[in-house]
Amino acid sequence: MHEFTFKDNELYCEDIKISTIAKKFPTPFYLYSYKTLIDHYRKLKTAFSAISPLICFSVKSNSNIAMLRALVKNGAGLDIVSGGELYRARLAGADPKKIVYAGVGKRPDEIMDAIKFGILFFNVESEEELETIQNIAASLKKRVNIAIRINPDVVPKTHSHIATGKGDSKFGLDFETVHKIFNSQWRYPDLKIRGVHIHIGSQIVDADPFEEAIRKVLDFLKKYNIEVDHFNIGGGLGIIYSIENPQTAKNFAKRILPILKKTRLKIILEPGRFISGNSGILVTKVLYTKITPRNTFVIVDGGMSELIRPSLYTAYHKIVPVKVAQDSSQTCDKVDIVGPICESGDFLGKDRLLPMMHKGDLLAVMGAGAYGFAMSSNYNSRPRAAEVMVINSKVHIIRRQEDYADLVRGESIPKELK
């Protein structure tokens, strides 16, 4: 459920007309509902309340500091993957003891900053990384908490680009290597291996692969008598973009809680999309329509620079007019909704049934709160979009639209060229 709903043929964000918001901010812009964001966080928290897990929101899905602040204020921790995300986490006032840090390529300077900030764990993904963290911990004379990311070799049914728990992926370590690490902890005197971590992929709609991965890890810990106190079961919960029928937080908990309850481990979850995905939309305006012998194109002012998911993963995002014409007998056409970028792969939706669109009409691209703005770019020298959030019937700008000066910030022309 989300708070983008139609009333009298007009799309609202909570109780505010989106057409009214669009008069204040230039399109394209991202629009978030605070209520939807927090509702999703709470849904998960409630579903798992029997074991009071730490829920670390995955910053990569939406890293705007206002979004992070909203979640942090409501008790969330954060899952980060870079020094930049650590910087954002600090600005959002995150509790260091609720931050976990994953990623296969952490740089020494990033590791050093995170240790100094006092994060809960690094989710370590290779032996060389362990050695690096050990050396930095020794130089700082700090004891550093570690969780080992295990690659459980399970096959989640999702797009190959977002499957991470298969044996051939770059993420995590195989059971044998993890066993070896636990047997050679003396090599890491300044590290305390306190947990294990998995993250098997993203947009996973069914609980089977989660259950399989969790069981594999617990069996492994038992078999080798490995003692840790934390188990981070990752993120990856799927949401509805089109016809998916993903497990609800409640059903997911029903499936895996009985297994987790049998352990004494403190459980960490690190969902991104489940919390942020449906909390945001992209609002874009029709620039032109064009009918060719083969297709009808609706050309809008937002494209792959704002939302790359359709181009990159052929991801489906529902697209709806912000105002539906009163005349319901209006016929719908099959159209391609495309952006202004000079790439044939620049589309937001193909073969969509839409009523006749006109210049200036607004369209809403739904389910764009996760991996939307976060993956946007300046391609074709397009200033990045504004981000706007509705909180308690008030509209707040949480990132202004970039201008042309932002585009060239940091660039310079060498003297020789002047």
Active site residues: 342
What 3-state class would DSSP assign to 187? Answer: helix
Q: Which is nearer to ligand LLP, 77 or 234 (CB)?
A: 234
> Which of 28, 77, 209, 236: binder of ligand LLP (CB under 6 A)?
236
Task: Please confirm whether the linkage preceding 28 is cis (ω < 30° from 0).
Answer: yes
Is 286 a binder of ligand LLP (CB under 6 A)? no
Binders in 15-54 for ligand LLP, by CB under 6 A: none
Q: Which is nearer to ligand LLP, 276 or 321 (CB)?
A: 276
Is 371 a binder of ligand LLP (CB under 6 A)? yes
Residues 330 and 352: their CA atoms lie apart, in Å, by: 15
> Which of 16, 51, 140, 162: binder of ligand LLP (CB under 6 A)?
162
Is 102 a binder of ligand LLP (CB under 6 A)? yes
Answer yes or no: are the C-beta atoms of 198 and 172 closer than 8 Å.
yes
Token reading at 7: 């009333």
Is 246 a binder of ligand LLP (CB under 6 A)? no
Span near ligand LLP by CB under 6 A; candidates 127-135, 207-215, 272-280, 336-344: 272-280
Instruction: Read off φ and ψ for residue 119, nearest 5 degrees.
Output: -65, 165
Span near ligand LLP by CB under 6 A; candidates 31-39, 139-147, 299-307, 367-375: 367-375
Is 284 a binder of ligand LLP (CB under 6 A)? no
C-alpha neighbours within 13 Å on the C-beta side of residue 82 = 6
Is 203 a binder of ligand LLP (CB under 6 A)? yes
Distance of CA 417 to the CA centre of its chain: 42
Is 63 a binder of ligand LLP (CB under 6 A)? no
Is 61 a binder of ligand LLP (CB under 6 A)? yes
Binders in 66-85 for ligand LLP, by CB under 6 A: 79
Residues 196 and 233: their CA atoms lie apart, in Å, by: 8
Q: How far is the CB of 302 from ligand LLP (least distance, A)?
A: 16
Residues 249 and 405: their CA atoms lie apart, in Å, by: 44
Ordered DSSP codes for 380-416 = TT-PPPEEEEEETTEEEEEEPPP-HHHHTTT----GG
Residues 151 and 154: their CA atoms lie apart, in Å, by: 8
Is 309 a binder of ligand LLP (CB under 6 A)? yes
Is 257 a binder of ligand LLP (CB under 6 A)? no
Question: Which residue is associated with the tokens 């708070």?
Answer: 3
Residue 24: which of 403, 401, 405 has the closest Cα?
A: 401
Contact positions vs ligand LLP (CB under 6 A): 58, 60-61, 79, 102, 162, 199, 202-203, 234-237, 270-274, 309, 370-371, 375
